[in-house]
Amino acid sequence: MVREGLATQKGYLAREARLMADYDRGEMNIADYVALIQAPLAGIPKSDVDALVARCVREAILPRVYPQAWELIRRLRAEGEQMLIISASVSLLVQAVAAALEIDQALGIDVAMVDGGYSGEITGIPSYQQGKVARLAQWREAHPQYDGEVTFYTDSINDLPLCLHADRVRLVNPCPQLQAAGAGYGWPVLSWRLE
C-alpha cells in the first residue's frame, strides 16, 4: 500500500514495524494490526481494492512462492488431496493468493464491508493463533466430506495452537521459537529457498 501511495499516514511504517515485531514474538494484537493495514483502503470501492490485491499477488507474492511449495501443491493435487490455506492475513488477500495457486479453499481474517468497501473491523473469529483452530473446526463442520487427517505447514510461533491440533506438522523455515517448540515434538523442519 505504501508503493501504491495509499499508506500516507504519518508513522504508518513505524507502527506496522512495531506490530510485526510483536507478531514475531507471538504477542501481536490482531485487531490493531487489521485496523492499521485496512485503514488506507477506507472509502475505496471493493472493485478497486480487489484490482490492487490482484496486482499485489501477481507482482509481489507469487514471485516469492518457494519452488518447493509449487511442487508440493502439484503433488497434492495429483494425489487428490484436499488443500486449505488458513492465514492470519485478511481474507481478501488470502483468497486471491489461493486462487492464484489454484487452491479452492482458503480462510483468512474476515473484515466488515462498509459503504461498498472493506473496513478495518474484524467479523467473526480471526484466524490467528488459537483462532486458527476454531476456524478450521468451523470449516470442517461446514465441509464434512473432508474428514481426513490434517497435515499443517507453517513457519510461525503464532501457529503453535494449530500445530498441536494437527495430525502431522511440517515446519518450513521456522522462526527460532517455533523451531525450539517443534524439536520437543519431533516435527520435521523443511528448508525451502527461492532459487
Residue 7 lies in a domain: no
Q: Would residue 5 count as lying in a domain?
A: no
Note the pLDDT of residue 72: 98
pLDDT tens by residue, 160-188: 999 999 999 999 999 999 999 999 999 99
Report yes or no on 3 lying in a domain: no
Cell of residue 194, nine digits: 527461492
Average pLDDT, stretch 70-97? 97
With H, G, I as helix, E, B as strand and everything else as coil, classify residue 185: helix
* pTM for the model: 0.92
State the total domains in the chain: 1
Tell me how far apart the alpha carbons of residues 2 and 4 are, in angstroms, rounded to a whole number.
5
Task: Kindly state the greatest CA–CA separation across the chain.
Answer: 50
CATH number at residue 44: 3.40.50.1000
| Contact yes or no for 174/155 (Cβ under 8 A) | yes
Asked if the model's pLDDT at residue 1 lies above 70, the reply is no
Structural domain of 172: 12-190
Quick check: 5 pLDDT over 80? no
Residue 20 has pLDDT above 90, yes or no: yes
Q: How confident is the model at residue 6 (pLDDT cuts 50, 70, 90)?
A: confident
The Cβ-side half-sphere exposure at 189, using a 13 Å CA radius, reads: 16
66 occurs within a structural domain: yes
**25-80 tens-digit pLDDT:** 999 999 999 999 999 998 899 999 999 999 999 999 999 999 999 999 999 999 99
Q: Is 151 among the domain residues?
A: yes
pLDDT by residue (tens digit) across 143-155? 998 888 999 999 9
136, 62, 130, 65: which is closest to 100 by C-alpha? Answer: 62
Task: Map residue 192 onto helix, strand or coil.
Answer: coil
- 4 belongs to a structural domain: no
Task: Let me know if residue 22 belongs to a domain.
Answer: yes
Is 65 inside a domain boundary? yes
